[in-house]
C-alpha cells in the first residue's frame, strides 16, 4: 500500500504537520509582539494570562485543523475559546468556574469598561490591574485569531505582519517615551518567523520531514531576513521617537502633554482596593512663596462607582486659564490670605496643572490651558513642555463658627449629592455617626474623627486588608480598616453624601518639606483628601487619613476643633459583631455591618488569591481535553491486545486492524481496494522494516488469510499475538512516533 496524497515516504525520517508549525509560529509572533506593552504597563502580571490566552487560541486552531473542521467553524471555536479564557481568568461568576454565562459576561463587560477608563485617565506606565489585564488579553486574543487566519488558513504570512504592526501602534500611541529596544527586536523576530514558517507552503506538503522544515525555518535565508529586520526595527524605533501621545485626557482622545525627558504624572487612584507603589522617590516641584502649608490640588473626582471607586466626571471646557479666573462655582466668599507662589515642575508631567487654594491668576505655563470653575481644575488638551508657572491665590481659612453658620442655596451640580450605589449599611453608619450633630460642619468633623480617632481601629498602611465580601467600601469601613489615603478619602466622601453633605475627592499633593527658601514636593507627597461644600464658602478641605509622619496640611478649623474620645453610634443602637480570626478579640468601638451575603458588584474581579486558581483550572481542563485522543487510542489498543491474547474467533482480524492503526498513526492510511498481502508488502517497503519485522507481518497476513478464507471450524493460530508484538516493535524501531502523534493519534481523530 502506497502513501496517500500529501504524505511522505517513511524513509524520509520523522515528519511534522506544516500547518501546525505555522500555527505555532503565528502564536509565537503574537507573543513576541506583545512585548511592546511593557513600555506602558508597569509590572509583568499581565504576561502569564496573555500567554495562556494566545496559547489557547492557537491550540484550538491546531485541534480544529487536525480534525479537518470547516475553516469558519475553526474561527468560531477559537472565539469561544477566547471568551472562555477571559471569563475564567477575570470573572468570579463563570458557570462551573470557566464557562461564560450571562452573569460572567456582564462582569467581564464591567472590567473592560473600567480598563478603558484606566487607559484614558492613567499615566503610562500604569499598574497591571485586573481590568487592564483583561483588556490586553482580549486584544491579543483577537490578534492571535486574525494572524492565525491570515498566516495559516490563507497562507499569507506577509500580510499578517500588518496586524502585528497594529499591536505596536497601541502602546506607541500611549507611551510618551520610546518603547524598550528589545520589544522592537521581538517584533522583528516575530515577522521573520512568520515568513519562514509560512512562506514555503506552495512547495511544502501537508506533512513534511523535520529536516526540510528546520532547513526552511532556520536556514540561511531566514537568518538574513531576521537580521535585517532587527536592524531596521532598531533604527526605526530610535529615529521615530516622536510617535506617541499619552491618551489620557478626558475627551482628548489622541492628545497629551509631556516632555521628552520623562516624568511622573497623577492618575485618579481611588479604587478602594490595591497597593500604593512608592518604590522610588522622585522630586516633582520646587515651590517658592508658600507662606502656609496647604494642599496642592491637581484634580477632583465627583462620581462614585461602587465597583471601582471614584472617577472624574462632568469636566467642561471651562475658561481660558491665562485670564483672571472666576470664583469656583457656588463660592461667594473670597476672604483669606492672599499669596503669590512660583512653582517649578521638576519630574512632573501631566495634563493637570496643580494649584493651591482658590486660584485667581495663573501665568507662565504656556498656551491652551483651561480652568473649570466647577471642578477647580486647570488642564490642557495639547502636547507641550512642562514650564515653571506662577499662581496668585487666596487661601481661605474660615473659623468653625463661620462654617457652622453657613447656610443658603446649594448652587452646585446635584451630582455632588448623588448617593447611587452606596450600600445600605454604609448609609446607616453615616446616620448613626452624625445623629447628634446639629450642623453640617459638625457632621463633617464627626465623620473626619471617625477615621482619625485611634480607638476606632483605623490605620494608615500601604496595603489594604484582604477582601471578605463583594463590597470594597464595606470591607474597609467595617472589617479591614487599614489602607492609604485613597481608601480614607473615598470612604469619607461617601459617608458625607450619605449624610446629605455635597462632597468630592481631591487628588494632588501635600506641601512637601522645606529646602532652603523653597519647598520640595516629591512622589512621597502624592495624596488624596476630601472636599465638602458649604454654602458661601464653597469647597472646604477635610483629611481623614491618619498620617503620623507630619505630612498633612490640615486647615485651622480642624486644628481648633476639640477631639472627643470617639465618634460612635449613640447608645442603645445595636452593633453587629465584627468577624474575628481565631483567638482574636473584637476591638472596642468597632462598627460592623454584618452583611455576609452582599450582592456582588458588577465589574469587580479583585480577589484575595487573584486569578491563579482559575488559571490552574483552565490548565487542568486543557490537559484533560488534550489527553482524551491518546487515552482513547490506548484503551482501544489494550482491548484488541486482550482479544488477540485470548485467541478466540476473529483474533487475527483484530490484530490486523491494530497493525493498520499503527501505520495510520504514522500518516499512512490504507486503501480499501488493496488485498491484505498487497497492503502488507507496501507497508514493509515503505517503512523499511527489518527482517524480523517483515517475517512477523507476513506471518500475521497468513493468519488473517486463513481466518478469513479457511473453514469456520479451523483452530485459531496461537502465534498471532507474538506476530503482532514483533511487527509493532519493528515499526517502532524504523519509524518511532513523535509526541504530537502520540498525543493526537490519527487513527482516532480521522475516523
- Domain boundaries of the chain, sorted by first residue: 16-239, 266-610, 626-749
**What's residue 202's pLDDT?**
42
- What CATH number has the domain spanning 266-610? 3.10.620.30
pTM over 0.85: no
Q: Of 476, 479, 470, whose CA–CA distance to 490 is shortest? A: 476
Is 582 a residue whose pLDDT tops 80? no
The confidence band for 585, taking pLDDT boundaries of 50, 70 and 90, is very low
The 10s digit of each residue's pLDDT in 300-318 is: 999 998 877 888 888 888 8
Q: Of 379, 361, 372, whose CA–CA distance to 328 is shortest? A: 372
Q: Please tell me the distance from the alpha carbon of residue 549 to that of residue 324, in angstroms, as a whole number.
A: 37
Among 123-137, 158-172, 512-526, top mean pLDDT goes to: 512-526
Helices (H), 647-690: 651-665, 676-686
The 10s digit of each residue's pLDDT in 44-79 is: 888 999 999 999 999 999 898 888 888 889 999 999
Mean pLDDT of 526-550: 89
**What's residue 440's pLDDT?**
95
CB atoms within 10 A of CB 564: 11
The 10s digit of each residue's pLDDT in 436-451 is: 999 999 999 999 999 9
Q: Of 667, 669, 660, 644, whose CA–CA distance to 728 is shortest? A: 660
Task: Kindly report the CATH class assigned to 626-749.
Answer: mainly alpha
Name 424's Cβ contacts closer than 8 Å, sequence gap at least 6: none
Half-sphere exposure of 81 (CA within 13 A, CB side): 28
Strand (E) or helix (H) holding 342: strand 337-345
Peptide bond into 125 cis (omega under 30): yes
Amino acid at each position: 500500500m502506497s502513501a496517500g496524497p500529501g504524505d511522505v515516504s517513511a524513509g524520509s525520517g520523522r515528519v511534522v504537520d506544516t500547518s501546525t508549525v505555522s500555527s505555532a509560529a503565528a502564536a509565537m509572533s503574537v507573543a513576541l509582539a506583545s512585548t511592546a506593552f511593557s513600555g506602558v504597563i508597569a509590572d509583568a502580571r499581565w504576561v502569564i494570562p496573555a500567554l495562556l490566552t494566545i496559547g489557547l487560541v492557537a491550540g484550538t486552531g491546531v485541534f480544529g485543523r487536525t480534525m479537518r473542521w470547516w475553516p469558519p467553524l475553526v474561527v468560531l471555536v477559537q472565539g469561544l475559546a477566547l471568551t472562555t479564557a477571559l471569563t475564567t481568568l477575570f470573572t468570579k461568576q463563570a458557570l462551573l468556574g470557566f464557562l461564560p454565562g450571562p452573569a460572567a459576561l456582564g462582569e467581564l463587560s464591567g472590567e473592560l469598561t473600567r480598563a478603558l477608563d484606566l487607559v484614558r485617565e492613567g499615566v503610562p506606565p500604569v499598574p497591571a490591574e485586573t481590568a487592564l489585564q483583561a483588556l490586553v488579553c482580549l486584544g491579543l486574543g483577537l490578534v492571535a485569531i486574525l494572524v492565525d487566519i491570515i498566516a495559516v488558513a490563507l497562507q499569507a504570512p506577509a500580510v499578517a505582519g500588518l496586524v502585528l504592526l497594529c499591536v505596536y501602534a497601541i502602546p506607541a500611541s500611549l507611551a510618551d517615551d520610546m518603547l524598550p529596544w528589545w520589544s522592537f527586536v521581538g517584533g522583528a523576530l516575530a515577522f521573520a518567523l512568520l515568513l519562514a514558517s509560512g512562506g514555503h507552503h506552495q512547495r511544502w506538503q501537508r506533512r513534511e520531514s523535520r529536516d526540510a522544515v528546520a532547513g526552511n525555518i532556520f536556514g540561511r535565508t531566514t537568518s538574513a531576513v531576521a537580521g535585517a529586520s532587527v536592524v531596521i526595527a532598531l533604527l526605526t524605533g530610535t529615529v521615530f521617537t516622536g510617535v506617541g501621545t499619552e491618551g489620557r485626557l478626558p475627551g482628548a482622545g489622541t492628545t497629551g502633554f509631556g516632555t521628552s525627558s520623562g516624568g511622573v504624572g497623577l492618575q485618579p487612584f481611588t479604587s478602594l482596593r490595591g497597593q500604593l507603589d512608592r518604590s522610588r522617590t522622585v522630586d516633582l516641584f520646587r515651590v517658592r512663596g508658600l507662606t502656609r502649608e496647604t494642599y496642592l490640588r491637581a484634580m477632583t473626582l465627583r462620581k462614585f462607582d461602587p465597583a471601582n471607586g471614584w472617577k472624574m466626571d462632568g469636566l467642561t471646557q471651562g475658561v481660558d486659564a491665562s485670564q483672571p479666573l472666576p470664583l469656583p462655582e457656588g463660592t461667594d466668599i473670597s476672604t483669606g490670605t492672599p499669596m503669590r507662589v512660583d512653582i517649578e515642575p521638576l519630574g512632573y508631567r501631566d495634563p493637570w496643572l496643580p494649584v493651591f487654594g482658590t486660584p485667581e491668576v495663573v501665568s507662565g505655563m504656556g498656551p491652551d490651558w483651561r480652568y473649570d470653575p466647577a471642578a477647580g481644575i486647570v488642564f490642557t488638551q495639547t502636547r507641550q513642555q512642562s514650564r515653571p508657572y506662577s499662581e496668585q491665590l487666596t487661601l481661605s481659612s474660615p473659623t468653625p463658627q463661620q462654617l457652622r453658620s453657613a447656610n443658603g442655596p446649594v448652587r452646585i451640580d446635584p451630582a455632588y449629592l448623588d448617593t447611587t450605589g452606596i450600600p445600605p449599611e454604609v448609609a446607616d453608619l453615616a446616620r448613626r455617626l452624625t445623629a447628634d450633630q446639629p450642623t453640617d460642619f459638625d457632621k463633617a468633623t464627626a465623620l473626619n474623627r471617625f477615621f482619625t480617632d485611634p480607638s476606632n481601629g483605623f490605620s494608615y498602611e500601604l496595603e489594604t486588608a484582604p477582601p471578605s465580601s463583594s463590597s470594597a467600601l464595606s470591607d474597609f469601613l467595617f472589617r479591614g480598616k487599614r489602607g492609604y489615603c485613597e481608601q480614607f478619602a473615598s470612604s469619607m466622601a461617601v459617608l458625607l453624601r450619605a449624610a446629605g453633605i455635597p462632597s468630592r475627592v481631591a487628588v494632588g499633593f501635600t506641601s512637601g518639606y522645606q529646602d532652603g527658601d523653597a519647598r520640595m514636593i516629591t512622589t512621597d507627597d502624592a495624596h488624596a483628601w476630601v472636599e465638602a461644600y458649604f454654602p458661601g464658602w464653597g469647597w472646604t478641605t477635610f483629611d481623614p487619613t491618619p498620617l503620623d509622619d507630619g505630612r498633612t496640611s490640615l486647615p485651622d478649623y480642624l486644628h481648633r476643633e476639640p477631639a472627643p474620645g470617639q465618634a460612635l453610634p449613640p447608645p442603645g443602637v445595636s452593633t453587629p459583631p465584627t468577624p474575628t480570626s481565631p483567638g482574636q478579640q473584637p476591638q472596642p468601638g468597632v462598627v460592623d455591618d454584618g452583611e455576609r451575603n452582599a450582592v456582588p458588584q458588577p465589574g469587580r474581579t479583585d480577589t484575595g488569591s487573584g486569578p491563579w486558581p482559575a488559571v490552574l483550572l483552565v490548565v487542568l481542563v486543557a490537559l484533560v481535553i488534550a489527553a482524551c485522543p491518546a487515552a482513547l487510542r490506548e484503551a482501544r489498543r489494550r482491548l484488541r491486545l486482550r482479544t488477540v491474547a485470548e485467541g478466540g474467533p476473529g483474533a487475527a482480524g483484530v490484530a490486523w486492524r491494530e497493525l493498520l492503526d499503527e501505520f495510520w498513526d504514522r500518516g499512512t492510511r490504507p486503501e480499501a481496494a488493496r488485498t491484505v498481502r498487497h497492503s502488507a508488502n507496501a507497508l514493509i517497503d515503505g517503512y523499511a522494516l527489518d527482517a524480523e519485522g517483515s517475517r512477523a507481518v507476513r506471518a500475521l497476513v497468513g493468519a488473517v488469510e486463513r481466518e478469513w478464507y479457511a473453514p469456520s471450524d479451523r483452530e485459531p493460530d496461537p502465534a498471532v499475538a507474538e506476530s503482532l508484538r514483533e511487527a509493532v516493535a519493528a515499526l517502532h524501531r524504523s519509524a518511532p512516533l513523535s509526541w504530537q502523534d502520540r498525543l493526537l493519534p490519527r487513527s482516532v481523530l480521522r475516523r
